[in-house]
Structure 1
């Protein structure tokens, strides 16, 4: 709660306010956070107010988290200017970009828990950092740094770092907690709970977590969300020395939502395909929840109900010890062991008419040796009934990949530093070491599907002129078994040395500078691959099954990089200041890039340059943070994976390019009267590729320099008007978000239309210890596309200009109602 948070931030000893006062604070108009003490983006041990920071930082307090609980980790990022967030994938494996950074997932944005990475490399193949973390009521506040010094004090985070800071038992000396029940109209039930108490002088205990079950944010036809998280924290804090032991266990299954079929109306507007609701339907679902995919040695049991299944235990030990006056030793250590399974149905290839598919399937039949074929009959794989020409009211088919990827990861991260205050200098020097062992196992089969919610597999039978069967193009709906296979085991070691100085030159002027040197080495084995024929003479689906080849390829790579930053803050008034910063940093390659291609030589250190100038003002009626920024990537390896329908296999091409972005971001809040306030978060940027040239498959040169970065809007605006009524016992907010046109591919050949989204948030104090909440996302139930279909090609989309195409929209209207009991 806000009152407890204020006690902990100011390092006061307080027993907590009355429940009525705390509940009122939980729904009151957001107060200025200008004086909040920040810990993210710096290494020094001295206290620093947000007003004094020489970089752009956004803070999200417990009040905001309670008013609008994020649906996913990525959903939290949407509140931060400078970030472009695609949270349409569900609760994990989403994409986050900051300030025009041209990479997906969490490859350039760090995700931290209590100032330590949730996952050292947040972009391992099929294992984004958000799969390893869930937001629940044990989170006290969030701090988000864009650009600036983030990459100096945190790994793999040139675009910024978002730090989730948890509650402590010592924050509530007299003991406090809450239980919250949430019901979602998508038939989901969730319980969040926590309790914290000081069990001895300066010694606190906290336990909490969540559990939920639900059918998913799209209609999967089965219980798609099931699981939870539990955390136990023991901490000691006497104001000068502190120790924290935190154990978090996560066992949770969630679906991974993928693109859906769409088409155009006569005016060129994007609309639904008949028989398919793009806001609520998914091609995955109950008709394919358990499928046997033939493989060498026996069938592969594909279980769609597993979804993205994370089983993770993380043990964190932190300590801060006073060594001398003004000198402290700080250590943060985390051991994490996890099993991550990701099963999903990835629609791929082209959405096309049954007639056109018959033609292409006939060509495949003849190419596969069924030379006597003159026609194709289509039957449903589950019952053998004929597929009508107008099936589902649309008469369309699409291919889909039943893909299973397993990425177990064991990891140790240790960050150790010495901080000292010497005169006007706040000094810090430290070393971070990380070791990880991960495996990567991937298997896939490609099937033919009809276009409906919870699609059915379709069999294609080749017949001769007399109608006699001459063979089967598919088997149980599968066009190709073993269309993708990988097996790898890789160990990584990272060691980084960093140091920084925050120098209070005058009472108004502070300059800071810091540097980081990091070395990465990894080694491992990646299986060779071959294709085999499983030997069924009646079908060509098993003729080219990819599987283990002869032995393994050894990988052994080393990279290093040095980065530095210098910034200054001029606080010419206590509530007003300016800052400027220049950063020359890097991003080292991800070991996961070698899991499927052990002999690649195109990877290397990515040099990154960033500059920013900011203004900040904070008062009771108005607060404003505005930053102009510049980001330049000088060398980036971009890989275009695209699916070839004819062979049911992935093809790839690589280009080395750069990017450059100029932009402005701002966040502001206006409070003209006590009962009304207006929040603003705005980002305008001009993100372009630089030196993007390559040779296409036909040998022709291609130049995409100057094209707008893929899927990033030039303008993103978020307005949040809010009202407070009945002596601050009721708060209501409307979030209005607008995003301008984006492109699904680097060629900018497939535009994604601008859209406006509206959300509604209400929270009310019912009694002294009971609160109620209502959250409605996508209030007007509008179609909002966040990405196209990457499997159609990210350089040049194969869906561009097609009558039917695949894209991933935000979810339709979702209503969440909650009741919270505090004690």
Structure 2
């Protein structure tokens, strides 16, 4: 509460400063109206918001914390991934150092103990892209792209998100498409000035008749990308289209999306660290730049493994993250006998996969020669320009003397297909002097998780510029301890060599009621989720008599090498059964008081749930003979949140502040690493609590404008099954303060500005030892309009080439002084030429 009161004190200053503020530019209001129409709302000119609420309404009349970001705003950021866009929205934590896809998202103080977006649902046009945003290896943002099709992005944090969408107790992020209500389009080309990218975007929309309109758009790109990998790592694109029929009492829209895109997966790399855990200094190993390099290269790309039928299969790391989507949908809304009935339906066919190299330990090359080859163990290049050459002096290898024990990962998506349907009916009743809005709805979805995984152990050197190679080890007597750089055609025996063929079904009736009289509105909502999980698993990790390690001649040379005696295989005759049900109740209630036309305050309390989904599979939580849960409570996690907020809006000024408190229970999977460099995977069961304040502000006067967002969070671990010593610690990666600020000047023929993203320090792991230093990234943009319909844009990300640490698998500085971590990319600059018509 004290944080809210302290921040709210800024409001009168903003009110005073806005007394002489000029009105918004003449085209701003029509642009807002067009965004409303695209979302299926009414062009009233008010800030109508429709995501995660019962019915679209002016945000000052809603007891929720929301934001809407128009396409014209986030294109100035120079964002090259969805994570780079979303990092600018208040309250959202986005970690996207791994590239485009498989980024991590959370809201306010909710934990990021695993990967993906566990508590946040990512949507396109009001329906989830995936029912669960944190599926291992495959997260929602893999199958979403920001391009000219986007009209705006709406986000709701906490509040009624828990009752108007399943598996979203933290909030909803909704990407809303253009629908052709504005005649015209654009074509633009983007070129990376200091990195490999060529991209073409185009879109067009307009009226076919007075009652029929359309929009179509997409992009295609290819290039090496912002890191030196030595090959074309980005290749592909998408196309989206929709057709809207306007009726006398509503509209009907059909839409489709076709996507086939390939992006790299940037995993952890060796990083030197000196100083202390509290005050570390991170730097590059010799001949390796953590801001521009990775362990990806043409020389680490070959994959040989056993497939889902235990046949030898070959693949290539250069396939990266392959995202393939074919979807069709329906979005309709009609007024019938006083009721507003909306129907949203989508069916998506999703496939692809992930290929990556992830180091699990880093050490001096001589040490790894001893580990795998014993006394007198010798090293040589298994691939690359020096293939077959002996490494006579391991301590001088590439100038840094380092090697990694790494995992080659091949994860196939046979099906992430999903079908979702959301049917809703609302009506406004006149009750006394006020309006009573009632809503009932039914949500139904089916989400496949049909996937094959194979993890293999290999050795690499540490070399930049896309030159990393695989390394062979021989014993002093000449016995090969590796084969073509492979230590084993598996990891830890048969860890993560598995298949999933599981379907998650969700049925969720929901209802809400809201009474608005005068300046006050009071409401509440309920949702009852009923889930069913059914399917089959294969893998030695399921236990029992299942055997997962065999000998196989993987290179077909007629000889079984040492590495080939450690080949992971599936026990195909011994499936594991999954067959369980669960259900939980979510609720939310709030009150909003419109103090004046420009000012409102609100309070809200909510409880939401999140299915544990595939994170329970291959853990002791399931009896794989019966398929039932050992502990029924493990089927889902809950989030309880309280909010108290203030919203202020006047011509040229917007100011929103929300104080929050959250309690979270979580079951997840977390990768950790010890001081000796070894890596382990923990099945965690923990509780968390957080409190803090969230701020969003925008000021516009004449050609000058500035938008800003900030979140202060005080978070703690409240329970931990693995170790009571973690209780009271701050969750990993949770900074006290995160912020973004974007000032700009918009003139007739040019727009100039910059965008600052910043954070204070956080801990690398829950043990609260090694700190990741705070940072601020400055991104600059210039837009020049030399003639009508022509615009030239220059974007520079990370202008000052700052080393911004995001991740460390080690909880403390190891004796070697080298960790495995990730940092954001260094300075990148791009130029875009757009022609609008």
Give TM-score, length-normalised by structure 1: 0.89
> Does 2:355 match 1:343?
yes
Shift of 1:162: 0.7
Question: 1:243-279: CA deviations, max 9, x gaps?
Answer: 0100001000000111121113578411111110111
Question: 1:140-167: CA deviations, max 9, x gaps?
Answer: 0111111111111012111111111111
**Does the residue aligned with 2:299 lie in a helix, a strand or coil?**
helix
Aligned position for 1:285: 297
Cα distance in 2 for residues equivalent to 1:252 and 1:477: 29
> Does 2:400 match 1:394?
yes
Cα distance in 1 for residues equivalent to 2:529 and 2:612: 12
Contact 2:274 2:817 in 1 (8 A): no
Partner of residue 722 from structure 1, selected from 744, 747, 767? 744
Cα distance in 2 for residues equivalent to 1:239 and 1:379: 75
Cα separation, partners in 2 of 1:788 and 1:11, compared to 1, 3 Å: closer
**Does the residue aligned with 1:551 lie in a helix, a strand or coil?**
coil
Compare 310-319 and 117-126 and name the one that shifted more. 117-126
Aligned position for 2:715: 687
Q: Which runs of 5+ in 2 are unaligned?
A: 1-26, 39-43, 541-547, 624-628
Cα separation, partners in 2 of 1:737 and 1:189, compared to 1, 3 Å: same
Q: Which runs of 5+ in 1 are unaligned?
A: 13-32, 364-373, 696-701
Contact 2:117 2:133 in 1 (8 A): yes
**Does the residue aligned with 1:482 lie in a helix, a strand or coil?**
coil
Shift of 1:605: 2.2
Compare 428-437 and 97-106 and name the one that shifted more. 97-106
Partner of residue 808 from structure 2, selected from 776, 788, 793? 788
Q: What are the within-5 Å matches in structure 2 for residues 13-28 of structure 1?
A: none
> Does 2:683 match 1:674?
no
Cα distance in 2 for residues equivalent to 1:210 and 1:78: 23
Contact 2:726 2:767 in 1 (8 A): yes
Shift of 1:749: 2.1
Shift of 1:34: 9.5
Aligned position for 1:582: 605
Aligned position for 1:22: none
Cα distance in 2 for residues equivalent to 1:304 and 1:426: 54
Shift of 1:10: 6.2
Shift of 1:719: 2.0
> Does 2:618 match 1:569?
no
> Does 2:582 match 1:559?
yes
Shift of 1:322: 2.0
Cα distance in 1 for residues equivalent to 2:562 and 2:253: 60
Question: 1:795-819: CA deviations, max 9, x gaps?
Answer: xx37656401111100111111111
Cα distance in 1 for residues equivalent to 2:170 and 2:248: 33
Partner of residue 137 from structure 2, selected from 126, 129, 135? 126
Aligned position for 1:370: none
Aligned position for 2:751: 731
Cα distance in 2 for residues equivalent to 1:210 and 1:652: 38
Aligned position for 1:84: 93
Cα distance in 2 for residues equivalent to 1:434 and 1:120: 8
Aligned position for 1:704: 726
Cα distance in 1 for residues equivalent to 2:564 and 2:118: 36
**Does the residue aligned with 1:555 lie in a helix, a strand or coil?**
strand
Aligned position for 1:630: 661
Shift of 1:239: 6.3
Cα separation, partners in 2 of 1:734 and 1:650, compared to 1, 3 Å: closer
Aligned position for 1:758: 778
Shift of 1:330: 1.1
Cα distance in 1 for residues equivalent to 2:281 and 2:673: 26
Give TM-score, length-normalised by structure 2: 0.87
Cα separation, partners in 2 of 1:819 and 1:76, compared to 1, 3 Å: same
**Does the residue aligned with 1:191 lie in a helix, a strand or coil?**
strand
Aligned position for 2:346: 334
Cα distance in 2 for residues equivalent to 1:653 and 1:224: 31
Question: 1:119-144: CA deviations, max 9, x gaps?
Answer: 11222221101011111111101111
For the aligned residue pairs, the C-alpha RMSD in angstroms reads 2.3
Task: Give the paired residue count.
Answer: 763
> Does 2:324 match 1:311?
yes
> Does 2:811 match 1:811?
no
Cα distance in 2 for residues equivalent to 1:298 and 1:156: 38
Cα separation, partners in 2 of 1:266 and 1:706, compared to 1, 3 Å: closer
> Does 2:379 match 1:384?
no
Cα distance in 2 for residues equivalent to 1:145 and 1:53: 11
Shift of 1:637: 1.7
Contact 1:34 1:50 in 2 (8 A): no
Contact 1:486 1:595 in 2 (8 A): no
Cα distance in 2 for residues equivalent to 1:774 and 1:512: 47
Cα separation, partners in 2 of 1:127 and 1:327, compared to 1, 3 Å: same
Cα separation, partners in 2 of 1:459 and 1:2, compared to 1, 3 Å: farther
Cα distance in 1 for residues equivalent to 2:406 and 2:619: 21
Aligned position for 1:19: none
Partner of residue 322 from structure 1, selected from 293, 316, 335? 335
Q: What are the within-5 Å matches in structure 2 for residues 506-525 of structure 1?
A: 506-525=517-536
Aligned position for 2:8: none
Cα distance in 1 for residues equivalent to 2:103 and 2:641: 25
Q: What are the within-5 Å matches in structure 2 for residues 6-85 of structure 1?
A: 6-9=32-35, 35-44=46-55, 47-85=56-94
Cα distance in 1 for residues equivalent to 2:216 and 2:799: 35
Compare 337-346 and 2-11 and name the one that shifted more. 2-11
**Does the residue aligned with 1:269 lie in a helix, a strand or coil?**
strand
Shift of 1:298: 5.3
Cα separation, partners in 2 of 1:783 and 1:345, compared to 1, 3 Å: same
